[in-house]
Structure 1
Amino acid sequence: MNRLKKSHRQKSLFWRPIAPNPQWQKENPTAHGSTETESFGYNGGNAEVKTSSAMMTGIHALVNERQNQWLREYEVDIKSRFDDIEPVLKDILAQQSQPSFVSWANQQLFAKLGVSLTEQDWQSGVQLQSQKGFQFLYGKTLFAQFMRMSEDFFVNDPLLGQRKHEAERIFKEAGFHAVGIAPCADGRLAHILSYVLRLPYALARRKAHAGVMFDVSESVRNWVFIEHTRFREGEPNLADEPTRYLKIAVYHFSKADPTHQGCAAHGSDDHKAAQAALQKLKDFKQAIENRFGCGSTVQTLLLGLNTDDDSMKVHIPNASGEVCLDRYVETEQLYQITASLSDTEAKQTLENAILACNQALGSTAPQPELVKLLSWLIGNNFSQIAYVNQYENGCYSDIGHAERFIGIGNGFEEVQLRNLSYYSFLDTVEEGVNDVDVGIKIFKGLNVKKGLPIPIIIRCDYDGRVPGSKDRAEAKALRIEKALHNRYQELSAPGLLQTLPTLRDFTSCKPAEKLPGLADLSAKQRTA
């Protein structure tokens, strides 16, 4: 099988054809979406703006083409493992007359998908009514692929996400000792670290929530833990060093279809999504200052991701670190303006654009260290813009939802690909019910409509250094699994809800650990 083939899921019910918008073709756009170039304050506003086709054949000085190549190979390989499950299983199940079917089926499955199931799984699937048996085996195979992906991710580090020292150095030079990022749970943002921002996954704590509505109290507790570790252990740096915690929130929007492909949690209202994310950042900062004093202030940063092409709106803080919705630069426009410049010229142009953004709106300039950090992050995003230009013709064909499974709980560091998983951080189903409901609604369109089950992977991390931590995590994972089947009985009863509870020791680079779940207990009862 050619692993470099272009692989996409069938278009979901959320997809609709998009008519070209003449506004997208405006020339000489500024960082504020205006056509007036004077506000940039650099190069006289005479930088040539290249067309998308020209950019796709050119080489931008800040683009890492070699990195793009192996990131593409990884994406296509992993997604094809999940996308091939349905046709391969249907082909195998259509040949149940084969002698020693279970043994033959497992050989075929391994040869085509690289995973195998237990004899009990095959027997249970065959014993069930045809469609329900397929749904059971589909879930088992998808979960096997996830476990395979998890092992490869943590053992082999294919995205080099464990190599964080250089990125840590850059953030510390900018005055930040730790980074937390809160994207929307939408699967189109799952690649925000490794692809969009080109950051090692081990650098930042990622917790996703529908609509970026993260739990402020939980975020404060994490901040306290980080600061305590600095004080007691000097990690990641000493407590008396003048560095801060950086909290990033990432909302999303679609320029191609803003009224349908924006954030579902906010009714595809881009302003509402951005405002909600900004308010959460303000609440987080205020909570820390109220509880621990103004000397404990944190820096916040707001990013908006265009899920059509992975370009961003970077909202520029002022001198006091305050963020404003109207103050931003757009990376896609900066990419075009710097396309013909040298490395040094491009970097300087980005810094000038950041300063000009605030100046144009009568605001103070960000701190110099933050200007350099933002310029670096924007430059990183240029590689992703080039990635989408080269491999997706400038715009994803699956601009809507096309996730392969739902992930709930905590962790899921191994999920670093766009539209691979709808992921939501939660401690209990009751607390995260809104996020889970959104995911279920999405997958009713993606899977149930086609007769496929909704696969949900539950992850509960534990601290291997703490006695009893693993046992508590296991009990929690099984409790969440039971709550899911109770809440969505109309899906569970006909086999349209398949779940896999997993654990992982977050203190090491070990892969996920599979737990026997409700499906395994039912299978044992059927084959007993």
Structure 2
Amino acid sequence: MNSTKKNYRQKSLFWKPIPSNPLWQQQKPTAHGSTVVADTMDEIGRQDRVDTTLAMTGTHVLVNEAQNELLRRYEMDIKARFDDIEAVLKDILTQQGKPGFVAWANQTLFAKLGVKLTEDDWQSELNFQSQKAFQKLYAKILFAQFIRMSEDFYINDPLMGQRKQEAERIFKEAGFHAVGIAPCADGRLAHVVSYVLRLPYDAVRRKAHAGSLFDISESVRNWVFIEHTRFREGKPNAAEEPTRYLKIAVYHFSKADPTHQGCAAHGSDDQKAAEAALTKLKDFRQAIENRFGCGASVQTLLIGMNTDDDSLKIHIPNEQGKVCLQRFVETDQLYQQTADLSADQAKQAIEHAIDDCNLNRSSTAPQPGVNTLIAWLIANNFSQLAYVNRYENGCYSDIGHAERFIGVGNGFEEVQLRNLSYYSFLDTVEEGVNDVDVGIKIFKGLNVKKGRPIPIIIRCDYDGRVPGSKDRAQAKAVRIEKALHNRYQELSASGLLQTMPTLRDFTGCQPAERLPSLADFSA
């Protein structure tokens, strides 16, 4: 290791412990997801470990167990709200002849699921025994749960994703003023920011596309906006500061069932998924170079994610920032190799492994800032590996799709949970048709075969500072909703396609606003 790099690491402030939060010390989850009071974190017992795919034992020194407790409580609570809808609704509908049914139904619904429907929602369905009535009510309850989740997410910040100062400091010290993440739209990657990488959602930009095939033109426009803001306002830092934009693409694979549970957009071919994501990164950087002559101001990073256990394959850039598919480190292996080391030893071992990855393949080590940033992300992922090991026995039981709804449009920062939503970023259905078709195919298996509708939530964000922005966003949301029902007419006519258009002012922490849907007008 050269002396310059060594001195840089000695000065690095990246390896600060995450501050504890009093909320983490108040409750702990039981085996069924409920909570009991705990006076201190020392009183929170660890579940017995079993043999797992990672063969982990004990607690890694770099794992944040307190954070894992918080994230588990949140995951169990939110998913239960969606998963219990069918059983609760069917139970309610068996009592439709009960005197004062609507009032009783709403009281029961609120007691069990925490939401209510309007009286019109209940009474508009005259025949509660019909399958179509069940489908509409199921969707309305699910949509109400989403609005509730959105309100809680932005107002109460349960994942502390609005506390972004520390992450922004780390990014800046590494030489980056903004970070964009392009994961696959697969719901098994929906938690990549808050859980897998342990980043505050408000510190990065996440736009998902099937197969990680992000829109290069849209990404360039976003880059231009960021650089313009730096020049005009000095935000997030002054334009003369030698920082760069970091673009991360996340593809995925399954080690447990590679030929069936990989990326559907690439036919579960891991090599194709990685190559396609890397090509997008190269094209993005080349586009900026060709148009603005400053490609060096962009750093790209390619990450592969094993959706079985959330372990990562991080492809290490060389000194020039170039990424190669053959140069990578795997976080599950590093976890095991550093399990018995002290904190300082583990950090050093991670950084050495990053450098050696390239040097052992006749390449150059990454720049010091890039090395330290990747090392920080790896340490963050260690906590997620321990999370999956403790709560999922080292491998998810739902290694395939298990999403609860489809989200299309833009935004959806409040969706930070694995397999909660299949999400596709789009401006028009025509432009995002491939992503939506994949989502519809997935939900035909998840929902339609079981008599449940396919719920689609449409999101169009707007800038509350710009005159007419909200009106244009609303018109766009209505247009997308109509296009969805036109494209999937058979599903729509049978009541198996249910939609809810929403808006959100992205300039603050306001929750989603529900718009009237086509179903409201046709009721």
TM-score, normalised relative to structure 1: 0.89
What is the aligned partner in structure 2 of residue 405 from structure 1? 405
What is the aligned partner in structure 1 of residue 415 from structure 2? 415
What is the aligned partner in structure 2 of residue 201 from structure 1? 201
Q: Does the 8 Å contact 1:4/1:77 carry over to 2?
A: no
Mapped to 1, the partners of 2:372 and 2:296 lie a distance apart of: 23
What is the aligned partner in structure 2 of residue 102 from structure 1? 102
- Give the letter for the 1:377 counterpart: L
In the alignment, does 2:196 pair up with 1:169? Answer: no
Mapped to 2, the partners of 1:127 and 1:373 lie a distance apart of: 59
Query: For 1:331-353, what per-residue CA distance to the aligned partner results, in whole angstroms no more than 9, with x for missing partners?
Result: 00000001111110000000010
Mapped to 2, the partners of 1:5 and 1:137 lie a distance apart of: 30
What is the aligned partner in structure 1 of residue 216 from structure 2? 216
* CA shift for structure 1 position 5: 4.8
What is the aligned partner in structure 1 of residue 438 from structure 2? 438
* CA shift for structure 1 position 505: 0.2
What is the aligned partner in structure 2 of residue 31 from structure 1? none
- Give the letter for the 2:240 counterpart: D
What is the aligned partner in structure 2 of residue 19 from structure 1? none
* CA shift for structure 1 position 519: 1.0
Mapped to 1, the partners of 2:478 and 2:31 lie a distance apart of: 38
Q: Does the 8 Å contact 2:184/2:209 carry over to 1?
A: yes
Q: Would the alpha carbon gap of residues 458 and 5 (structure 1) be closer, same or farther in structure 2, given more than 3 Å must change?
A: farther
What is the aligned partner in structure 1 of residue 114 from structure 2? 114
CA RMSD of aligned residues (A): 1.5
Q: Would the alpha carbon gap of residues 4 and 81 (structure 1) be closer, same or farther in structure 2, given more than 3 Å must change?
A: farther
- Give the letter for the 1:337 counterpart: Q
* CA shift for structure 1 position 92: 0.1
What is the aligned partner in structure 2 of residue 502 from structure 1? 502
Q: Does the 8 Å contact 1:124/1:133 carry over to 2?
A: no
Q: Would the alpha carbon gap of residues 475 and 3 (structure 1) be closer, same or farther in structure 2, given more than 3 Å must change?
A: farther
Q: Would the alpha carbon gap of residues 4 and 494 (structure 1) be closer, same or farther in structure 2, given more than 3 Å must change?
A: farther
Query: For 1:306-365, what per-residue CA distance to the aligned partner results, in whole angstroms no more than 9, with x for missing partners?
Result: 000000000000000000000000000000001111110000000010111101100001
TM alignment of 1:250-399, pairs within 5 A: 250-294=250-294, 297-399=297-399
Query: SS of the counterpart of 1:178?
Result: strand
What is the aligned partner in structure 2 of residue 160 from structure 1? 160
Mapped to 2, the partners of 1:248 and 1:465 lie a distance apart of: 29
- Give the letter for the 1:430 counterpart: E
TM alignment of 1:130-149, pairs within 5 A: 130-149=130-149
Query: For 1:159-191, what per-residue CA distance to the aligned partner results, in whole angstroms no more than 9, with x for missing partners?
Result: 000000000000100000000000000000000
* CA shift for structure 1 position 55: 5.7
Between 93-102 and 277-286, the greater mean CA deviation after superposition = 93-102
What is the aligned partner in structure 2 of residue 516 from structure 1? 516
Mapped to 2, the partners of 1:361 and 1:6 lie a distance apart of: 48
Mapped to 2, the partners of 1:213 and 1:173 lie a distance apart of: 29
What is the aligned partner in structure 2 of residue 483 from structure 1? 483
Q: Would the alpha carbon gap of residues 54 and 377 (structure 1) be closer, same or farther in structure 2, given more than 3 Å must change?
A: closer
* CA shift for structure 1 position 296: 5.3
Q: Does the 8 Å contact 2:274/2:325 carry over to 1?
A: yes
Query: For 1:192-226, what per-residue CA distance to the aligned partner results, in whole angstroms no more than 9, with x for missing partners?
Result: 00000000000111000000111100000000000
Mapped to 1, the partners of 2:179 and 2:474 lie a distance apart of: 28
Mapped to 2, the partners of 1:356 and 1:163 lie a distance apart of: 34
- Give the letter for the 1:395 counterpart: C
Mapped to 2, the partners of 1:432 and 1:251 lie a distance apart of: 18
Q: Does the 8 Å contact 1:318/1:365 carry over to 2?
A: yes
Query: For 1:124-164, what per-residue CA distance to the aligned partner results, in whole angstroms no more than 9, with x for missing partners?
Result: 23446611000000000000000000000000000000000
Mapped to 2, the partners of 1:60 and 1:213 lie a distance apart of: 35
Q: Does the 8 Å contact 1:191/1:418 carry over to 2?
A: yes
Mapped to 2, the partners of 1:424 and 1:218 lie a distance apart of: 14
- Give the letter for the 1:166 counterpart: E
TM-score, normalised relative to structure 2: 0.90
Q: Does the 8 Å contact 2:54/2:332 carry over to 1?
A: no
Q: Does the 8 Å contact 1:403/1:420 carry over to 2?
A: yes
* CA shift for structure 1 position 51: 6.9
State the number of aligned residues: 480
* CA shift for structure 1 position 6: 5.2
- Give the letter for the 1:457 counterpart: I
Q: Does the 8 Å contact 1:216/1:280 carry over to 2?
A: yes
* CA shift for structure 1 position 56: 4.8
Q: Would the alpha carbon gap of residues 295 and 283 (structure 1) be closer, same or farther in structure 2, given more than 3 Å must change?
A: closer
What is the aligned partner in structure 2 of residue 233 from structure 1? 233
* CA shift for structure 1 position 454: 0.1
- Give the letter for the 1:472 counterpart: R
Q: Does the 8 Å contact 2:29/2:72 carry over to 1?
A: no
Query: SS of the counterpart of 1:437?
Result: helix
Between 57-66 and 294-303, the greater mean CA deviation after superposition = 294-303
The unaligned stretches of length 5 or more in structure 1 are 8-49, 524-528
What is the aligned partner in structure 2 of residue 36 from structure 1? none
Query: SS of the counterpart of 1:309?
Result: coil
Mapped to 1, the partners of 2:90 and 2:31 lie a distance apart of: 21
What is the aligned partner in structure 1 of residue 91 from structure 2? 91
What is the aligned partner in structure 2 of residue 180 from structure 1? 180
Between 124-133 and 285-294, the greater mean CA deviation after superposition = 124-133
Q: Does the 8 Å contact 1:4/1:73 carry over to 2?
A: no
Query: SS of the counterpart of 2:61?
Result: coil
Mapped to 2, the partners of 1:54 and 1:185 lie a distance apart of: 26
Query: For 1:273-296, what per-residue CA distance to the aligned partner results, in whole angstroms no more than 9, with x for missing partners?
Result: 000000000000000000001365
Query: For 1:222-281, what per-residue CA distance to the aligned partner results, in whole angstroms no more than 9, with x for missing partners?
Result: 000000000001100000000000000000000000000000000000000000000000
Mapped to 2, the partners of 1:323 and 1:468 lie a distance apart of: 42
Q: Does the 8 Å contact 2:464/2:505 carry over to 1?
A: yes
Mapped to 2, the partners of 1:234 and 1:516 lie a distance apart of: 40
Query: SS of the counterpart of 1:125?
Result: coil
Between 289-298 and 156-165, the greater mean CA deviation after superposition = 289-298
Mapped to 1, the partners of 2:243 and 2:322 lie a distance apart of: 17
- Give the letter for the 1:78 counterpart: I
- Give the letter for the 1:336 counterpart: Q
Q: Does the 8 Å contact 2:243/2:297 carry over to 1?
A: no
The unaligned stretches of length 5 or more in structure 2 are 1-27, 34-49
Mapped to 1, the partners of 2:176 and 2:294 lie a distance apart of: 17
Between 388-397 and 353-362, the greater mean CA deviation after superposition = 353-362
- Give the letter for the 1:148 counterpart: R
Query: For 1:447-503, what per-residue CA distance to the aligned partner results, in whole angstroms no more than 9, with x for missing partners?
Result: 000000000000000000000000000000010000000000110001000000000
Q: Does the 8 Å contact 1:5/1:76 carry over to 2?
A: no
Mapped to 2, the partners of 1:52 and 1:61 lie a distance apart of: 19
- Give the letter for the 1:197 counterpart: L
Mapped to 1, the partners of 2:402 and 2:82 lie a distance apart of: 12
Mapped to 2, the partners of 1:414 and 1:499 lie a distance apart of: 18
Mapped to 2, the partners of 1:500 and 1:247 lie a distance apart of: 31
Mapped to 2, the partners of 1:169 and 1:222 lie a distance apart of: 21
